[in-house]
Structure 1
């Protein structure tokens, strides 16, 4: 088992000049560098972009629906890296309600797990194919109030790695915690990020109309 070191790739505006921040969390076998170019397809012109890098290119060793102990201590270490990054961004002057999260696959699961354990008003949450982590969902881990944070979860039906049942269970929990949920299910979608998903994310989070509200 392994611990993660704090290794953050940055892009976009310098944090001291930015109005908001986007945390991009990569999937298994990928890298922070591979996530950053995705931000060019989103309207992130006023944002500082942060992409943490997992040790060994994986946030935890086995499936997200395996017993949690099989993914420890890597999972706790990954959550701590994300928490440290969030605190660093807040200390730099960007409040939590202007912090956005975007993750894919394993990174989407980690994203949802982090924000639901630390629910508050965020800028927004984008989970491209993911759900809450654990063989069983441990409700005692989740606390706080999303205060109507917009949360997008997309997935395919079926998906080889993420059961639709877990996506729906996760969305229901987050909705009870006052998340403004958008769940989009695509039939026969490959396990990747599609143009359609990027379009939905732009419409919900990054369009000029949204940012003027």
Structure 2
């Protein structure tokens, strides 16, 4: 099970008008994903990045049956849920709370926001999609109420098939998210400058 370890950056939450929750990828760390905010329009944001135990949110591919990734998957989702509740308790409304993640962290982000959909400030998925050997639509509840979502991914990508990105887009749109997808031919498993610019144009706009 994951131990709660939240790394912070940006403004103090008592002084911030918005919050960005960032989830790192497999083998990455919270400090590294926090540095991503330097390239995003997050000047007035408080930043929160949970650190996964052993730098991994769940042991197997996100395309494995979810039961194979337990109890780590549920534990990771619980860490994010409790963090979200703590942020709200500080007086930050859901429409001022943003989420972002890369790779494994993007998959966990996608899974979390779609299981707990409401009007968020925005969601950025740098190479990620909903988790499972198939789409388990019964897990997804709520209404995004126009939340802007940007998903960027490579084609092909070593970890995330384009088909799962498109399935994720379809599910999120059915729950009233405004989803923009950018697929980059032969792009390495990384975050490109174009994705940063699109995230700023489409999500971090207010």
Equivalent of 1:63 in 51, 58, 61: 61
| Match of residue 74 from structure 2 | 76
Task: Provide the alpha-carbon RMSD of the alignment.
Answer: 0.6
| Match of residue 159 from structure 1 | 157
What is the DSSP-based 3-state SS (H/G/I as helix, E as strand, rest coil) of the residue aligned with 2:14? Answer: helix
Equivalent of 1:103 in 96, 101, 104: 101
Q: Normalized against structure 1, the TM-score is what?
A: 0.96
Equivalent of 2:122 in 124, 127, 130: 124
What is the DSSP-based 3-state SS (H/G/I as helix, E as strand, rest coil) of the residue aligned with 2:19? Answer: strand
Shift of 1:203: 1.1
Preserved contact between residue 98 and residue 122 of structure 2 (Cα < 8 Å): yes
Length, aligned pairs only: 206
Please say if 1:204 is aligned against 2:206: no
Shift of 1:204: 1.4
| Match of residue 90 from structure 1 | 88
CA distance in 2, matches of 1:43, 1:116: 24
Shift of 1:205: 2.3
Runs of 4+ in 1 over 4 A off after TM superposition: none
Q: Normalized against structure 2, the TM-score is what?
A: 0.99
CA distance in 2, matches of 1:139, 1:91: 29
Structure 1: gaps spanning 5 or more residues: none
